[in-house]
Amino acid sequence: MIYWIVLIGIPLLLGLYAQMKVSSAYHKNSQIASRGRITGAEAAQAVMNSAGIGDVEIVEVQGFLSDHYDPINKKLALSPNNYRGNSLAALGVSAHEAGHAIQQKQGYAMMKVRQLVAPAVQFAAPVSYFIFGWGFFLGGAFIKSLLPIAVAALVVMVLFQLVTLPVEFDASRRAKLQLVNLGILDRDEMVGVNETLNAAALTYVAAFVDSLGKLLYLLLMFSGGGRRND
């Protein structure tokens, strides 16, 4: 039981805390308009223009915080509040996504690694979710019968989320730097941007901890350690 609490329960609570933190920070700073009053789409365009990027399309997508950068199709997708909004949160998130476009243009190594691992995640993610989602209902014997597959899937997930950390941290660093250097935001406005992006970064840390905890838990089961210590 102690292994489940430490390796599954605590990461789960961390993930819930991270989601609440990012929602709270985003909601708070989405109520604060930037002095320049430019939109998130305009800020993202300005950041990319400063890096000489002219082949990335900025598009609006539905959803809450559904913002992402598509390196294959070279599309920067922003949710409505960030695409059209002029809040500190909107500018921070939009500039962050533009940071990914800069990473691709400059050949940022960790982004290349993440792109290589990404196709395997499309298989690994549903496998790991299925085994942990249904495995405990179907019993330990069911999980153990699929241990090799589950471990392989979680290794992929852990690797992907590990390389995602520097990619996301670096994109935020670039965003914060450019928002000030380009005069989009004043330095005192960066408090709201920092709060929003730092909270978002915690969700990536939580995702990594969650996958690592699950992997270690399965490895303990595979070795029999979990039985001896439960």
Query: Is the dihedral angle over the CA atoms 194, 49, 78, 212 positive or is it negative?
Result: negative
State how far the alpha carbon of 29 is from the alpha carbons of 121, 175, 189, 190, 215, in Å. 32, 16, 10, 11, 36
DSSP 6: I
User: What number of other Cβ atoms are within 10 A of residue 159's Cβ?
Assistant: 18
Tell how far CA 71 is from the center of its chain: 15
Tens place of pLDDT for every residue, the chain, 230 residues? 788 899 999 999 999 999 999 999 999 999 999 999 999 999 999 999 999 999 999 999 999 999 999 999 999 999 999 999 999 999 999 999 999 999 999 999 999 999 999 999 999 999 888 877 776 666 667 667 778 888 999 999 999 999 999 999 999 999 999 999 999 999 999 999 999 999 999 999 999 999 999 999 888 877 765 554 44
Global pTM reads 0.91
SS3 182: coil
The C-alpha atoms of residue 111 and residue 69 are separated, in whole angstroms, by 12
Q: Is 97 a catalytic residue?
A: yes
Active-site entry in 97, 168, 189, 195:
97
Q: In what order do the strands lie in the sheet with 57-60?
A: 57-60, 75-78, 68-70
Task: Write out the DSSP string of 30-76.
Answer: TTSB-SS---HHHHHHHHHHHTT--S-EEEE--SSS--EEETTTTEE
What is residue 106's three-state secondary structure?
helix
Residue 66 backbone dihedrals phi, psi, to 5 degrees? -90, 15
Residue of 17, 12, 1 whose CA lies nearest to 209: 12
